Amino acid sequence: QITLKESGPTLVNPTQTLTLTCNFSGFSVTRGDVGVGWIRQPPGKPLEWLGILYWNDNTRYNPFLKSRLTITKGTSNNQVVLTVTDMDPVDTGTYYCAHSPGPVGEWWFAPWGQGTLVTVSA
């Protein structure tokens, strides 16, 4: 069974950097076509794709946010880390990590983590 879970701060100040960790299990990380993506959802609004990391180190980012996003492997083989710089109140929302069943380039997701709500406020 594949599971994912996000963790990180629930409150960040404007201009700070957000760092979220996704811990996952149930799928192999030795294959280059295994992908973990990040998606966010402002309160009451639609979903927004942020980016994806494949285990062969291929990453893709939403071009509208690319300069602020970094997705990397974590310290263990079952972690992916999302970093968002220069946080603004409009970045408030629930951040999800999700498994991409592949193949590479087919960016649909199943399953998703439970999500973590991040609020940007002073």
| Contacts with another protein, residue ranges (CB under 8 A) | 46-49, 60, 62-64, 96, 98, 105-115
CA distance 33 to 107: 11
- The least CB distance from residue 24 to another protein, in Å, is 14
- The least CB distance from residue 71 to another protein, in Å, is 13
Give the residue with the Cβ less far from another protein, 3 or 15: 3
Give the residue with the Cβ less far from another protein, 29 or 104: 104
- The least CB distance from residue 67 to another protein, in Å, is 14
Give the residue with the Cβ less far from another protein, 16 or 33: 33
CA distance 8 to 21: 6
Instruction: Tell me the β-bridge partners of 48.
Output: 40
Give the residue with the Cβ less far from another protein, 77 or 106: 106
CA distance 6 to 22: 4
- The least CB distance from residue 91 to another protein, in Å, is 17
Residue 95 neighbours by CB under 8 Å, 6+ apart:
6, 8, 20, 38, 39, 40, 50, 82, 115, 116, 117, 118
